[in-house]
């Protein structure tokens, strides 16, 4: 027995099943799955530019006969939805398994979605492991099932499965040989003439899946001494089992299609049937659709966020343990841009410009928080560029503040490229800042096309970001050192006042990539306590609560010198 996180167990399961190819785009809580898979013997793994590309690469590899793993976070499934829905028509050749890692409670996401709906809508079977041991077993089995039913299989995880380490028994790797590839246009060319018969194949497949799911031992009843029954799936089962030890539980390991007969039989075996799930009505509605009555607990379960044993016990009206309330004077501790982060000055200057800033997904989303407060929108990968164009369209006839899109290098590669092409094509005139910190920082420093680093450190070529942007048709492209205040300020001013589309590439590596730091700065006696240095939001700078005099923590300071450029009294000195 070893301790593996759910993500590590999924990677192990795929490897044991003989998968040789892994394709993904990083995203919390899915990222470590592909990172772990990439480290295994005899596999090829790569980061793709986005999840849609990953699923297409995966489907190609499957068509050619390999067993393939793709991993993504829940919002990545949105990006991949296009190939996903049609992959449920083509089916597979080599087994194809796709991880959708959901984030109920939004620990690290812009929304909470239930990927079960994708499985049901696309008619792609979905397995719901409840712990690491099941994650390994289910993933391993999913490859064979994918081949048996000629369809990709999805594994659904949540943050509590993906990021919980639990005991796992590892096994041997199966010997899998590439399945022969044969041209079969009727299966793989989804034009109407071929897609219509494949739709029939898909519908027929649902019948055989529904027969299989009734027999599948991944759906099992854990009998309790009490009279109530609960239907649940995935890691949520652990909370239910702890909160309601007397209840009988129908633990679903396959969440689409559902075992209708098993659900009806289970409902008949208990006095009251409940469904417990997180931030979703998928399971409740699906169970109701089986024709059984679903009871509501005494107090409603929350419609959003995660559940926990306490939340379940509260819903069922049990007595809860007392607790000490948190004092109201405990200050919040939001995450912050790191000391020395090369994004800081750009956000401070955008704040000074009072620009309307359309933001994007990454570390730099933290520029939205006080004291920088320099972001107006953040929706999805690539939205900064397209939303800026939309703002410009709406504000064209009126006097308005400059509109500036801010996007990271990896996010630009993911979805910003096509947005920028659209802006160029439609003669947009705004300002786009690409914060090129040479990595995909937020998810833990993965490679991307613009830093030329690949997942298994294979030979690659680094795309020339400046040349790419020029090739897309942008004439005003500048590369600027974001640690140089004067350069940032003058270029932003110029770009936001000229009449053409400007792309400013602010290039400086993520400070966490730098192993050796410069001498820390310090504040000398000439500090007047004006507070400007504190307004840049560096965790290493503080102010005396009474005098307002600034101080720099010599351990946290990395010697970037950003703050000293803001000091009008030359009070921040090196060494």
Partner 1 sequence: MKTTTVLLCGVGGQGTISAADILARAIMGAGMQVKISEIHGMSQRGGAVTTVVRFGDDVKSMVSDLGCADVVVSFEVTEAMRCVSHLAQEGSMIVNVEHIKPLPVLAGKARMPFKGEDYLKDLGALLVPAHDIAVSAGNPKTMNVVLIGALSKRLDIPVEVWEEAIAGRVPPKTVEANLAAFHAGRAYIDTL
List the one residue from 62, 78, 164, 562 that touches partner 1 (CB under 8 A): 164
Toward partner 1, which CB reaches closer, 330 or 516? 330
Residue 321 interacts with partner 1 (CB under 8 A)?
yes
Tokens of 435: 């914060």
CA dihedral 203, 209, 211, 215 (to 10 degrees): -170
Residue 373 interacts with partner 1 (CB under 8 A)?
no
Side-chain half-sphere CA neighbours of 262 within 13 A: 25
Q: Output the DSSP codes for 38-94.
A: HTSTT-EEEE-SSHHHHHHHHHHHHHTT--EEEEEEHHHHHHHHHHHHHHHHH--SS
Map residues 530-569 to x or -, x wherever contact with partner 1 holds by CB under 8 A.
-x--xx-xxx-xxx-x--x---------------------
SS3 241: helix
Toward partner 1, which CB reaches closer, 110 or 429? 110
Residue 516 interacts with partner 1 (CB under 8 A)?
no
Please state whether the peptide bond connecting residue 388 to the residue before it is cis, i.e. omega within 30 degrees of 0: no
- The gap between the terminal CA atoms of the chain, to the nearest Å, is 52
Map residues 24-63 to x or -, x wherever contact with partner 1 holds by CB under 8 A.
----xx----------------------------------
Tokens of 267: 């409902």
Residue of 575, 565, 567, 562 whose CA lies nearest to 340: 562
Q: Which element (helix H / strand E) includes 540?
A: none
Residue 396 interacts with partner 1 (CB under 8 A)?
no
Tokens of 500: 């053409």
- Contact positions with partner 1 (CB under 8 A) in 216-235: 235
Q: Which element (helix H / strand E) includes 125?
A: none
Q: Minimal distance in Å, beta carbon 185 to partner 1? A: 44
Q: Is the distance from CB of 477 to CB of 468 less than 8 angstroms?
A: no
Q: Minimal distance in Å, beta carbon 236 to partner 1? A: 10
List the one residue from 39, 82, 107, 305 that touches partner 1 (CB under 8 A): 107
Toward partner 1, which CB reaches closer, 401 or 543? 543
List the one residue from 246, 271, 324, 399 that touches partner 1 (CB under 8 A): 324
Residue 310 interacts with partner 1 (CB under 8 A)?
yes
Span interacting with partner 1, options 254-262, 368-376, 383-391, 562-570, rule CB under 8 A = 368-376
Residue 535: C-alpha distances to residues 373, 433, 529, 532, 545 (Å)? 10, 21, 12, 5, 15
Q: Minimal distance in Å, beta carbon 563 to partner 1? A: 12
Residue 445 interacts with partner 1 (CB under 8 A)?
no
Residue of 262, 179, 243 whose CA lies nearest to 251: 262
Q: Minimal distance in Å, beta carbon 331 to partner 1? A: 4
Residue 174 interacts with partner 1 (CB under 8 A)?
no
Count of residues engaged in binding partner 1, rule: CB under 8 A: 60
Residue 239 interacts with partner 1 (CB under 8 A)?
yes
- Non-local CB neighbours of 46 within 8 Å, separated by 6+ positions: 22, 23, 57, 454, 455, 456
Treating both helix axes as pointing N-terminal to C-terminal, what angle do 192-215 and 132-149 enclose, rounded to 10 degrees? 130
Toward partner 1, which CB reaches closer, 133 or 479? 133
Residue 522 interacts with partner 1 (CB under 8 A)?
no
Residue 334 interacts with partner 1 (CB under 8 A)?
yes
DSSP state, residue 223 = -
Residue 246 interacts with partner 1 (CB under 8 A)?
no
Residue 478 interacts with partner 1 (CB under 8 A)?
no
Residue 200 interacts with partner 1 (CB under 8 A)?
no
Strand partners, 572: 523
CA–CA gap between residue 135 and residue 121 (Å, rounded): 23
Toward partner 1, which CB reaches closer, 77 or 119? 77
Residue 242 interacts with partner 1 (CB under 8 A)?
yes
Span interacting with partner 1, options 260-268, 350-358, 515-523, 527-535, rule CB under 8 A = 527-535
List the one residue from 40, 44, 85, 108 that touches partner 1 (CB under 8 A): 108
CA–CA gap between residue 517 and residue 319 (Å, rounded): 54
Report the interface residues with partner 1, using CB under 8 A.
Answer: 1, 3, 28-29, 107-108, 131, 159-160, 163-167, 235, 238-239, 241-243, 306, 308-311, 320-327, 329-338, 363, 366, 369-371, 442, 531, 534-535, 537-539, 541-543, 545, 548
């Amino acid at each position: 027995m070893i301790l593996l996180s759910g993500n590590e167990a999924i990677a192990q399961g795929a490897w044991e099943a003989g998968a040789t190819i892994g394709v993904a785009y990083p995203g919390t809580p899915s990222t470590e799955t592909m990172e772990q898979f990439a480290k295994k013997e005899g596999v090829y793994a790569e980061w793709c530019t986005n999840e849609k590309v990953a699923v297409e690469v995966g489907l190609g590899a499957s068509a050619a006969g390999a067993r393939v793993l793709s991993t993504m976070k829940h919002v990545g499934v949105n990006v991949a939805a296009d190939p996903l829905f049609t992959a449920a028509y083509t089916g597979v050749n080599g087994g194809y398994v796709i991880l959708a890692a959901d984030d109920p409670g939004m620990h690290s996401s812009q929304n909470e979605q239930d990927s079960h709906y994708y499985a049901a809508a696309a008619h792609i079977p979905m397995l719901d492991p409840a712990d690491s041991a099941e994650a390994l077993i289910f993933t391993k089995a999913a490859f064979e099932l994918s081949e048996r039913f000629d369809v990709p299989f999805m594994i659904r995880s949540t943050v509590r499965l993906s990021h919980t380490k639990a005991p796992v028994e590892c096994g041997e790797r199966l010997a899998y040989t590439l399945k022969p590839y044969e041209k079969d246009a009727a299966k793989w060319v989804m034009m109407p003439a071929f897609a219509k018969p494949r739709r029939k194949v898909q519908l027929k497949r649902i019948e055989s899946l529904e027969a299989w799911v009734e027999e599948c031992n991944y759906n099992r009843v854990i009998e309790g001494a009490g009279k109530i029954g609960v239907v649940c799936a995935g890691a949520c089962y652990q909370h239910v089992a702890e909160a309601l030890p007397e209840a009988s539980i129908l633990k679903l390991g396959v969440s689409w299609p559902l075992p209708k007969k098993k659900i009806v039989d289970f409902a008949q075996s208990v006095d009251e049937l409940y469904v417990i799930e997180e931030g979703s009505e998928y399971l409740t509605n699906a169970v109701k659709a089986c024709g059984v009555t679903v009871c509501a607990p005494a107090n409603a379960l929350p419609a959003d966020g995660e559940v926990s044993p306490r939340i379940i016990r509260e819903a069922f009206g049990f007595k809860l343990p007392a607790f000490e309330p948190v004092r109201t004077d405990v200050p919040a501790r939001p995450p912050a841009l790191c000391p020395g982060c090369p994004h800081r000055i750009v956000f401070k200057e955008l704040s000074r410009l009072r620009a309307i800033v359309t933001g994007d997904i990454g570390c730099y989303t933290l520029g939205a928080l006080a004291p920088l407060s320099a972001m107006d929108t953040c929706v999805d990968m690539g939205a900064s560029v397209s939303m800026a164009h939309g703002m410009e369209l709406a504000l064209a006839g009126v006097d308005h503040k400059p509109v500036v899109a801010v996007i990271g290098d990896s996010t630009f590669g993911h979805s910003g490229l096509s947005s920028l092409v659209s802006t160029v094509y439609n003669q947009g005139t705004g300002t786009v800042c690409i914060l090129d910190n040479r990595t995909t920082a937020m998810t833990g420093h993965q490679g991307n096309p613009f830093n030329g680093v690949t997942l298994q450190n294979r030979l690659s070529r680094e795309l020339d970001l400046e040349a790419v942007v020029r090739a897309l048709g942008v004439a005003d492209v500048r590369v600027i050192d974001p640690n140089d205040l004067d350069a940032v300020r003058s270029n932003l001013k110029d770009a936001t006042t000229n009449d053409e589309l400007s792309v400013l590439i602010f290039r400086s590596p993520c400070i966490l990539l730098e192993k050796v730091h410069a001498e820390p700065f310090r504040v000398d006696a000439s500090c007047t306590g004006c507070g400007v240095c504190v307004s840049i939001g560096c965790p290493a700078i503080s102010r005396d609560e009474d005098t307002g005099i600034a101080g720099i923590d010599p351990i946290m300071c990395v010697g970037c010198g950003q703050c000293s450029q803001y000091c009008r009294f030359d009070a921040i000195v090196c060494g």
